[in-house]
Amino acid sequence: MEPATDMTDWLVERLGRSRGLTILTGSGVSHESGVPTFRGKDAFWEKHRVEELATWQAFEAHPELVWRWYDYRRRGVAEAQPNGAHFAIARLEPAFDAFVLITQNVDGLHRRAGSTDPLELHGNIWRARCTREHTTTDLLDCPLRELPPRCEKCGALLRPDVVWFGEPLPPDEYERAYEAARNCDAMLVVGTSAMVRPAASLPLVAKHNGAMVVEINVSFTPISALIDATLLGRAGDILPELADRVLALGATGAARAPSRVHVR
């Protein structure tokens, strides 16, 4: 493993000659937009542990409470703007032959920044699903007009179309994410505590298959020792500069040039 470091020339150089880049993001990428993360000091809402609210059991027992939490989160996200990290990720997308953005975030900020097809592994906070018919629908009212909201067609409770603890990931999205991890040359892991599987396993899948894996985080995580490097710092500071430097290589025609630099 490379020592923890600031932005490094070898990372820029490696990204510059990678054809396949996969980026995995977590709630840390939206933190500078004012969206709370899940752990650390953001771990509670109105004295409830957020991890305990994000379960089917909590919803079944207290649907109005869980929807009030989602209404609070939706209002926060509606006021938030994508930050420099979201925009940098969107700028990197066209520079790679195979680019895949995988996010655990449900806030939709990557799309608002211009990313075209993020794989939303944990769903999207702006959609709801009928608990009876399992049909999904956009639910854009903000604040919600009815708490808890009900299906317009059958009157059953709606639930947020997100993945809760103990629930499987959407199989198509996960399969595409797994393939993107398996086949990429480089993976950036941005603002995730890497504690929630299976998303947290994806960097190790990439590493196992020969990719360079670098995380960008304000602190070390359980995967730090298992990957190539950790860039310690805020995603909104690091990613725009990284994108500028990688894109500048492309502009000078050097992005695809073979290199003798060997970092592993």
209 vs 219 by CB, closer to ligand OAD: 219
Residue among 249, 255, 239 nearest 87 (CA): 239
Which region among 16-24, 141-149, 190-198, 224-232 touches ligand OAD (by CB under 6 A)? 190-198
Amino acid at 260: R
82 vs 191 by CB, closer to ligand OAD: 191
With beta carbons less than 8 A apart as the criterion, state whether 225 and 196 touch: no
Among 102, 196, 205, 223, contact with ligand OAD (rule: CB under 6 A): 196
Question: In the annotation, is 48 catalytic?
Answer: no
Among 7, 19, 20, 51, contact with ligand OAD (rule: CB under 6 A): 51
Which residues from 63-102 bind ligand OAD, rule CB under 6 A?
none
Would you count residue 115 as binding ligand OAD (CB under 6 A)? no
Would you count residue 39 as binding ligand OAD (CB under 6 A)? yes
CA separation (Å) from 117 to 7, 25, 30, 90?
Answer: 27, 14, 17, 10
CB atoms within 10 A of CB 14: 22
CA distance 134 to 141: 20
Residue among 108, 136, 134, 137 nearest 120 (CA): 108
83 vs 131 by CB, closer to ligand OAD: 83
Binding mask 202-231 for ligand OAD (x = CB under 6 A): --------------xxxx-x----------
Among 10, 14, 28, 74, contact with ligand OAD (rule: CB under 6 A): 28
54 vs 144 by CB, closer to ligand OAD: 54
18 vs 37 by CB, closer to ligand OAD: 37
Among 27, 115, 124, 230, contact with ligand OAD (rule: CB under 6 A): 27
Residue 71 neighbours by CB under 8 Å, 6+ apart: 142, 143, 144, 147
Among 74, 91, 111, 234, contact with ligand OAD (rule: CB under 6 A): 234
The separation between the first and the last C-alpha atoms of the chain, rounded to the nearest angstrom, is 8
With beta carbons less than 8 A apart as the criterion, state whether 157 and 148 touch: yes
Structure tokens, 82: 């994508």
Which region among 28-36, 74-82, 140-148, 224-232 touches ligand OAD (by CB under 6 A)? 28-36
Residue 155, class by beta-carbon neighbours within 10 Å (0-12 exposed, 13-18 middle, 19+ buried)?
A: exposed
Would you count residue 187 as binding ligand OAD (CB under 6 A)? no
With beta carbons less than 8 A apart as the criterion, state whether 191 and 31 touch: yes
Q: Please tell me which residue in 62, 122, 134, 262 is annotated as part of the active site.
A: 122
Minimum distance between the CB of residue 50 and ligand OAD, rounded to whole angstroms? 7
Minimum distance between the CB of residue 73 and ligand OAD, rounded to whole angstroms? 11
Active site positions, annotated = 122
